[in-house]
Amino acid sequence: MSTPKIVILGAGYGGLMSAKGLQKELNYNEAEITLVSNHSYHYITTKLHEPAAGTSHHDHARIPVQSVINTKRVKFVQDRVTAIKTNEKAVHLESGKTLAYDYLVVGIGSAPETFGIKGLLENAFFIRNIDGVRVLREHMEYSFAKYQTEKKDDLITIVVGGCGFTGIEYVGELVDRMPSLCREYDIPLEKVRIVNVEAAPTVLPGFDKDLVDYAVKYLESKGVEFLLSTPIEECTEQGVMLKGGQEIKAATVVWTGGVRGNKMVEEAGIETMRGRVKVDEFLHAPGFDNVFILGDSSLVFPADGERPYPPTAQMATQQGQALAKNLSAKIRGREMKPFKYEAKGTVASLGSKEAIGMVGNRKLMGGSASFMKKIIDMRWLFLLGGISLVIRKGKF
Amino acid sequence: MSTPKIVILGAGYGGLMSAKGLQKELNYNEAEITLVSNHSYHYITTKLHEPAAGTSHHDHARIPVQSVINTKRVKFVQDRVTAIKTNEKAVHLESGKTLAYDYLVVGIGSAPETFGIKGLLENAFFIRNIDGVRVLREHMEYSFAKYQTEKKDDLITIVVGGCGFTGIEYVGELVDRMPSLCREYDIPLEKVRIVNVEAAPTVLPGFDKDLVDYAVKYLESKGVEFLLSTPIEECTEQGVMLKGGQEIKAATVVWTGGVRGNKMVEEAGIETMRGRVKVDEFLHAPGFDNVFILGDSSLVFPADGERPYPPTAQMATQQGQALAKNLSAKIRGREMKPFKYEAKGTVASLGSKEAIGMVGNRKLMGGSASFMKKIIDMRWLFLLGGISLVIRKGKF
């Protein structure tokens, strides 16, 4: 019998943790492991709001994949997946190549959920990957630069759609960035408008009210305008049209209003809900005992809950770790253990010095929450590359 | 008899040197001196190609006006001149104010000479002032950032119109900037195109042939393409159309092809040639013994020549120095001395380490020319603000 082929799609949190776990668990003759990613680097999605606002360089939010995996054990292929063919047990790549698999681990991330808002994909920016946030940052800077020559207020108006985690964290970074940005382009700080628009009636829905109040008060004190219970009807080249007919003219519109599963999973003939796959306790795709789905494309439900856990880096990381153990067990003919998500707390940064968070039942705000956020960032670096990566990439 | 009012328009080389000379020559009861500029800062035009390419920050190319004049002797008014009314002996300002003068010194700079090329003013960038080069730099960076998401070659193609001094110096800076710019946006350096287009058959027309050859060879070795004897017919949003029908698609088109006088001078009823005023030996506007024209709006002819001297910072500086002495003499009832331009040499930089130049009859190239260029820059800082400004702003 030949060595089983494991193909991992995506070098995000789930994919990388799977690869790192498998390279540790399995001997070289137990499996051929291949990791496929369209970028040569992993990007730290939970930090993308920083380079998006320009408060840190995008290189602080990416790590070369080959620097954190053992390339003798895991073969890295930089290519774009174009199709998953479950009937052929193969993956098709943009280069024209195909990769046969015995076991497939799918961690290819999400797509923006636009809720059918017209013009959003064409005219808004998204905080989703390095290339995208770099364009967003440059677009904002270019718009600010033009203010002195064109004197139009929309050039220095930023609309952020969505008051969820990404929206709030991005707005927090913008607030940090504005003083130096305005100095750079000779713009009076008070002329800048940052408007955070949300269809739901609250900021950070589901989060502790005291913490939300703290965050809103802090951001408002820095000039951020919140428009709650205000759906965006359309995004145009000029800005956004709100429900009720109000228009906000803004050169920069950033949509953070949610994600859905990657459509390639649906196209693979796997049953999905809004592009996401309700996986079983072993993270199997329904009906496939050799296909596993991790991260943003998976849906995991709590034992007692009706609403799935939100798709987070923490979830994907734990799934990757569990998958590596389970798949190793399966290959060795042992029993797999049901995956249980363990919520370790959630912290949302509000720029570099402020944050809010829940760790266990403890509410954190201000400096202590901000410190906790840095610890969480470092933990991921430690999981990826040990203490040396923490030292190289960590923000102290 | 009341104290004569001297109004100086423009804080460029000519205007600032006039102000500094007059504040030194005249006692406080001999004249009221007012300096008008639409910016709070003087910009060092001869260095603008650096921030335009992004090889240095734009703050290195500007100096607050009030830091280099004696504000007890010279009143500084930050406003935009909208009209010069020689019949009223007054200047109209954007704020609605008017300034009466007994003596007027006009150093309000130039406008781009487009030679009637269609679309140039709308679609090209110009290396003319701080606001403009900041937008140009940001536009280039934004275009480069988009390359990873849009993969269009025109995003990383830069067309520079004009192979005169500004064109060549800007191209030299671009060549210096490209390696780091490409690293920043994950672009292979060899994919970038820099095309320098010139209607005339030579680079730097009128300059020593050996030096021109040196410059062209150096820039070509860095990948610059020269298209000589190639007039631009039209500049569009997509790039340039060349004579003969060839199109170069380029996101960034920069026009350095020449300057003409400021049209406000013409509108003042002063006789001009292409917007410039052929001044007499005392820098008088023809027919006015109380209006002086300096810098780019003036035309000075050599004693034996038919072609006027080119409009340079060196010319404007010497005019300002001479004007201050002559106007002081006139106010005191003494005789004015004819202005004689003294060519002190010309150096064109090719990035930070290379240059070509003529100083007297000596040809300079490479490091020695580059060193001379830095000395010339420092000399201007010294004239403006003494040794302390040289230390603060000089590049060593």
Can you give the CATH number for the domain in which B23 is found? 3.50.50.100
Q: Which of A228, A255, A282 is the last residue of a domain?
A: A255
Nearest CB neighbour to A131, from listed B131, B134, B148: B148
Cα separation, B12 vs B296, in Å, equals: 10
* pLDDT at position A119: 97
Q: Which of B255, B271, B287 is the last residue of a domain?
A: B255
Gap between the terminal Cα atoms of chain B: 51
User: Are B236 and B287 part of one and the same domain?
Assistant: no
User: Are A196 and A96 part of one and the same domain?
Assistant: no
Q: How confident is the model at residue B205 (pLDDT cuts 50, 70, 90)?
A: confident
- The verdict on a CB contact (< 8 Å) between B137 and A131 is no
Contacts of A131 in chain B (CB under 8 A): 148-149, 186
Q: Which of A217, A238, A255 is the last residue of a domain?
A: A255
H or E stretch covering B172: helix B165-184
- The verdict on a CB contact (< 8 Å) between B135 and A141 is no
Calculate Rg over the CA atoms of chain B: 22
Contacts of B38 in chain A (CB under 8 A): none
Cα separation, A359 vs B114, in Å, equals: 64
- Catalytic residue chosen out of the listed positions B32, B169, B173, B198: B169
User: Are B128 and B251 part of one and the same domain?
Assistant: yes
- Residues from A contacting B (CB-CB < 8 Å) are 131-132, 134-135, 137-139, 141-142, 144-146, 148-149, 185-186
* pLDDT at position B153: 98
* ipTM attached to this prediction: 0.90
Beta strands in B198-251 (DSSP E): 224-227, 232-235, 239-242, 247-249
User: Are B127 and B242 part of one and the same domain?
Assistant: yes
B32 is catalytic: no
Angle, CA B145 vertex, CA B139 and CA B147 arms, to 5°? 110
For helices B209-221 and B165-184, angle between their N-to-C axes, nearest 10 degrees: 20
Q: How far is A333 from chain B (nearest CA, A)?
A: 45
Q: Which of A56, A126, A131 to mutate to test the interface with B (most CBs of B within 10 A)?
A: A131
- The verdict on a CB contact (< 8 Å) between A141 and B145 is no
Is the torsion defined by CA of B24, B25, B26, B27 positive or negative?
A: positive
User: Are B32 and B71 part of one and the same domain?
Assistant: yes
Nearest CA in chain B to A145: B135
With respect to residue A91, please indicate whether it lies within any of the assigned structural domains.
yes
Buried b (16+ CB within 10 A) or exposed e, A198-220: bbbeebbeebbeebbebbbebbe
Both tokens assigned to A92: 């098709």
Q: How many CA atoms lie within 13 A of A157 on its CB side?
A: 17
Q: What is the pLDDT of residues B48-97, one digit of tens each?
A: 999 999 999 999 999 999 999 999 999 999 999 999 999 999 999 999 99
- Structural domain boundaries, residue B214: 120-255
Q: How far is B180 from chain A (nearest CA, A)?
A: 14
* pLDDT at position A345: 87
Residue with tokens 């109000």: A246
With respect to residue B190, please indicate whether it lies within any of the assigned structural domains.
yes
With respect to residue B381, please indicate whether it lies within any of the assigned structural domains.
no
Q: How far is B50 from chain A (nearest CA, A)?
A: 16
User: Are A193 and A166 part of one and the same domain?
Assistant: yes
Tell me what the mean pLDDT of segment A64-79 comes to: 96
Tell me what the mean pLDDT of segment B261-266 comes to: 91
**Number of Cβ pairs < 8 A linking chain A and chain B:** 45
Chain mean pLDDT for chain B? 94
Q: How confident is the model at residue B395 (pLDDT cuts 50, 70, 90)?
A: low
Both tokens assigned to A258: 């949610």
- The verdict on a CB contact (< 8 Å) between A141 and B146 is no
3-state helix, strand, coil in chain A (%, to 5): 35, 25, 35
User: Are B88 and B129 part of one and the same domain?
Assistant: no
With respect to residue A383, please indicate whether it lies within any of the assigned structural domains.
no
Contact A75/A32 with Cβ under 8 angstroms? yes
User: Are B251 and B263 part of one and the same domain?
Assistant: no
Cα separation, B363 vs B368, in Å, equals: 10
Question: DSSP 3-state assignment of A307?
Answer: coil
Q: How confident is the model at residue A151 (pLDDT cuts 50, 70, 90)?
A: very high
* pLDDT at position A396: 52
DSSP-derived secondary structure for B87-116: TTTEEEETTS-EEE-SEEEE---EEE--TT
Angle, CA B87 vertex, CA B82 and CA B89 arms, to 5°? 70
From the list B108, B46, B137, B42, the residue with the least C-alpha distance to A149 is: B137
* pLDDT at position B1: 60
From the list A50, A52, A259, A49, the residue with the least C-alpha distance to A166 is: A49
User: Are B169 and B296 part of one and the same domain?
Assistant: no
What's at B1, amino acid-wise? M
- Catalytic residue chosen out of the listed positions A25, A88, A113, A169: A169
Contact A163/A227 with Cβ under 8 angstroms? no
User: Are A98 and A136 part of one and the same domain?
Assistant: no
Nearest CB neighbour to A149, from listed B132, B145, B149: B132
Nearest CB neighbour to A148, from listed B131, B142, B185: B131
From the list A92, A245, A243, A228, the residue with the least C-alpha distance to A160 is: A228
With respect to residue B350, please indicate whether it lies within any of the assigned structural domains.
no
Nearest CB neighbour to B131, from listed A132, A141, A149: A149
pLDDT above 60 (res A106)? yes
Furthest-apart CA atoms within chain B: distance in Å: 72
Tell me what the mean pLDDT of segment A304-331 comes to: 93
Helix spans in chain B (H): 13-25, 49-53, 120-123, 130-150, 165-184, 209-221, 263-267, 313-331, 367-393
3-state helix, strand, coil in chain B (%, to 5): 35, 25, 35
* pLDDT at position B363: 94
Antiparallel, parallel or unpaired: β B103-106 and B291-293: parallel
User: Are A137 and A251 part of one and the same domain?
Assistant: yes
Strand partners, A357: A347, A364
Can you give the CATH number for the domain in which A232 is found? 3.50.50.60
Instruction: Give me the torsion for CA of A98, A99, A101, A107, rounded to 10°.
Output: -100
Angle, CA B271 vertex, CA B270 and CA B277 arms, to 5°? 90
Q: How far is B65 from chain A (nearest CA, A)?
A: 16
Cα separation, A389 vs B310, in Å, equals: 58
Q: In chain A, how many domains are there?
A: 2
* pLDDT at position B396: 52
User: Are A10 and A69 part of one and the same domain?
Assistant: yes
Antiparallel, parallel or unpaired: β A298-299 and B103-106: unpaired
Cα separation, A282 vs A325, in Å, equals: 11
Cα separation, A187 vs A183, in Å, equals: 6
Is the torsion defined by CA of B305, B310, B314, B317 positive or negative?
A: positive
Q: How many CA atoms lie within 13 A of B382 on its CB side?
A: 8
Q: What are phi and psi of A250, to 5 degrees?
A: -150, 130
Tell me what the mean pLDDT of segment A214-238 comes to: 97
With respect to residue B391, please indicate whether it lies within any of the assigned structural domains.
no
- Residues from B contacting A (CB-CB < 8 Å) are 131-132, 134-135, 137-139, 141-142, 144-146, 148-149, 185-186
Buried b (16+ CB within 10 A) or exposed e, A279-299: bbebbbbeebebbbbbbbbbb
Q: What are phi and psi of B88, to 5 degrees?
A: -85, -10
Buried b (16+ CB within 10 A) or exposed e, B113-127: bbeebebbeebbbbb
With respect to residue A368, please indicate whether it lies within any of the assigned structural domains.
no
With respect to residue B274, please indicate whether it lies within any of the assigned structural domains.
yes
Cα separation, B49 vs B47, in Å, equals: 5
* pLDDT at position A177: 98
Contacts of A135 in chain B (CB under 8 A): 142, 145-146, 148-149
Percent of all residues in chain A with a pLDDT value above 70, rounded to a whole number: 99
Helix spans in chain A (H): 13-25, 49-53, 120-123, 130-150, 165-184, 209-221, 263-267, 313-331, 367-393
* A8-22, A255-269, B189-203: the lowest-pLDDT one: A255-269
